[in-house]
Amino acid sequence: MNEIKVLFFAQLRDRADMRETQMELPETTLVSDLKLLLAERFPGLREAIPTALVAVNREFAFNEDPIPDGAEVALFPPVSGG
């Protein structure tokens, strides 16, 4: 099992009702798997999690990227601007 820290930012922090959490994940967990787990654990995230931006160890990550042991995973709402 991998131990990770998950950080929530902006509206995702409000929807999860916390700033961060610790999680244990199977060693083969991908970013897409983590999103599903978070939506189950925090029902308030269900609508927002599919479009959330994810960074693993301060590098943007995609759904197919693995999450290593000890990772810091940050979730951000999508950003728009002009």
Q: Give pTM, 2 decimals.
A: 0.92
Classify residue 82: in a domain, yes or no. Answer: no
**Alpha helices for the chain (secondary structure H):** 11-16, 31-41
Q: Can you give the residue range of the structural domain that contains 46?
A: 2-76
Note the pLDDT of residue 81: 56
Number of domains making up the chain = 1
- Closest by CA position to 49, among listed 35, 33, 62, 64: 35
Torsion of CA 33, 37, 38, 43, to 10 degrees: 130
- Convert the pLDDT of each residue in 7-63 to its tens digit: 999 999 999 999 999 999 999 999 999 999 999 999 999 999 999 999 999 999 999
What's the pLDDT at 54? 97
Identify the pLDDT of residue 78.
84
CATH of the domain at 42: 3.10.20.30
81 domain-assigned: no
pLDDT at 82 over 90: no
| C-alpha–C-alpha distance, residues 26 and 6, integer Å | 15
Residue 37 falls inside a structural domain: yes
